[in-house]
Structure 1
């Protein structure tokens, strides 16, 4: 890259980090990624990891705006939570300590909610970017993932949000319980998934029993691993939908993410008569980081 960036955008998660060399107009000049996520680094290791990542992007002053788990208590430096309701970027950046001349590293704070207690870190930037790309949008944003988030947005603000352990529970059950013997496959059964969604949504109170029934049906009825795996996912997503019914029923809903999870959550919502809009998570993250950089000028 021959052109020196005006600033650098960084999305630093638990497992990975992505960086983009940016112009003042929000154009991407270059990008880089590494597996040196927050979970692998001590506080003193963040600055060297960053310099390794962006080392070829000029030798002058480097102003970085970052989001994600880099601002967690276990990250480079803690960026205190701001409270909802409010704008997804309600406060200034938290500056991390640096030793490299000309380097400044500002972190976007996460958001918290008192009742019911909930937190987010990184998703607020995606919401800010989504709203920047879709001015005047009101409704519910659903961010699938390890910890799916339902986020109510109105008048440019986050009104409330709720987080579940749906993805993490799926990983735990399929990898570390008796169900691992029934779901060990890469195959997928769409019909079994939608059946699980319907059952989980209709009877969330029976979830624990229906989860064990997957194992029993594998032993007694020859339930195939592809169907068992898909039903497990469907039951958990269905129970999540049941708990979040007021967030999607009759509401404008937008899915924001990427990959297979978009497909499963889209299918689950469509089976309930919801036609979700869709947004790319990376595009929204970049737009949100750009909005944070502009607000910090």
Structure 2
């Protein structure tokens, strides 16, 4: 490792002292040498250009009236004023904030707890089995997941209402109840994500030095104390990083999930910004208005990430960068 570091250091020194023309030739030679690796990242670059960079460039549509022919007409902040003058927007924003809080804040500790519990399983074979079973739902589409949950929560033949019936509880139609539908979103998201989102924390636990466990054993620490004083401190950095990054998507309350779980009975309780954008943009053709809502979402997410990062830096010394 030391030899590799020395080699990289010497290459950097040579590059810094090299004339500009020679430096360009040297970089071209490196690209030719590693051309296979560059070809491998081309699909990823194309994806980000089409679905990330190009949409950011066309966020300017929020300030223009879209026309299929002829130049776009500059409208200033007209569409932003329309958004804030619409009472339904604030109801949708409220739904988005509530559902996002449930998913990104209330659900967050469950991923950490699951990773810790996974680490406590002594049998490696059984642990791998639990890991595979918990990861699988992540690879299912929301269409399939919605079908499973609608079937399980059915008031006539669903397993949940069957179990509730054993205790004399009247069957509940979870999918048409405004009181329960948000919790259906919460638990279905948890079921789908708990295995996948716990990978980061489980990897952090596995990277803990064995000497710390040995020192804890010598001191006579109980398993609870090992978790508290050895494992949890090792999870602070990934927890802070993941929490800050998740806040950047705070207004993304889950378009695919909500679209598959919604119906006329509960739509007013789970109608979120993403479904609102879909409705006014793609269905009604109000592209400028939809873009303005999307821009508000993006700016809000960016502000949350920056604020949380600097607050975390101030109090814990840890942040995203």
Q: Same fold (TM over 0.5)?
A: no
| Superposition TM-score, scaled by structure 2 size | 0.24
Of structures 1 and 2, the one scoring higher in RCO (CA 8 A, sep 6+) is: 2
| Superposition TM-score, scaled by structure 1 size | 0.26
- Of the two, which has the highest radius of gyration? 2
More strand by share: 1
